[in-house]
Amino acid sequence: MREFSLPALYEVPADGNLTDIVRRNAAQHPDVAVIARKVAGAWQDVTAREFLAEVHTAAKGLIASGVQPGDRVGLMSRTRYEWTLLDFAIWSAGAITVPVYETSSPEQVRWILSDSGATACVTELDGHTAAVESVREALPALKHVWQIEGGGLAELGRLGQDVSDATVEERGSLARADDPATIVYTSGTTGRPKGCVLTHRSFFAECGNVVERLRPLFRTGEC
């Protein structure tokens, strides 16, 4: 088999992690829209500065609730703005995201949250929360469950009011490139789902190299 390779266009610094992206964008391009969300049926831009502020607000709530560096936090939701927001918030709290597919059965939810040792979980809809609560007795490590469509982000905002920006900055800088960012569980077609660890480097390298290769598409030239 013939193999063809090229050197990477972007090298992830050894001390870098994914929270660097939102911090750097907010510092260098605060008024540039980095994402859009649908509000009352209309798409609304979110600037780099606004996104970082929302990430920090959620991260403060997680920290105030007792989420520690290296803790696993489940995230059971469809693809939506809040998923991205919470992913970065979990990393900014120094924790690790454990995605749970939105159609997972209660037994699958139990296994993933138990095997990963998740100490908290964010769900999206009533049905997702019900699935988690139905197996809660089998999850002694799980201390908190917040629901996106049940005021969960607002609750995190209230909980984190006394946490300083400096605390979030410190937590967000703890992870290094080769530390776990996410634990993704397999479908389990040949047995119980197995946790696959994805590092900050693996995500960061994809992002950085895409930006370098497609630089004309990025107005700011930043990842």
pLDDT, tens digit (0-9, with 9 covering 90-100), for 143-191: 999 999 999 999 999 999 999 999 999 999 999 999 999 999 998 778 8
Say which CATH topology domain 53-217 has: Rossmann fold (3.40.50)
Provide the pLDDT for residue 50: 98
Tell me the average pLDDT across 96-117.
Answer: 97
The pTM is what? 0.93
39-58 average pLDDT score: 96
Summarize the confidence of residues 53-72 as an average pLDDT: 98
Average pLDDT on 45-54 reads 98
**CB atoms closer than 10 angstroms to residue 104:** 20
Task: Write out pLDDT tens, residues 74-89.
Answer: 999 999 999 999 999 9
pLDDT at 219: 63
For residue 166, CA distances in Å to 4, 45, 91, 110 come to 45, 27, 15, 35
Question: Could you give the dihedral angle defined by the CA atoms of residues 131, 136, 138 and 144, in that order, rounded to the nearest 10 degrees?
Answer: 120
Percent of the chain with pLDDT over 90: 83
Domain boundaries, the chain: 53-217
Q: Taking 50 as the threshold, does the pLDDT of residue 4 lie above it?
A: yes
How high is the pLDDT of residue 220? Answer: 61
Can you give the pLDDT at residue 223?
47
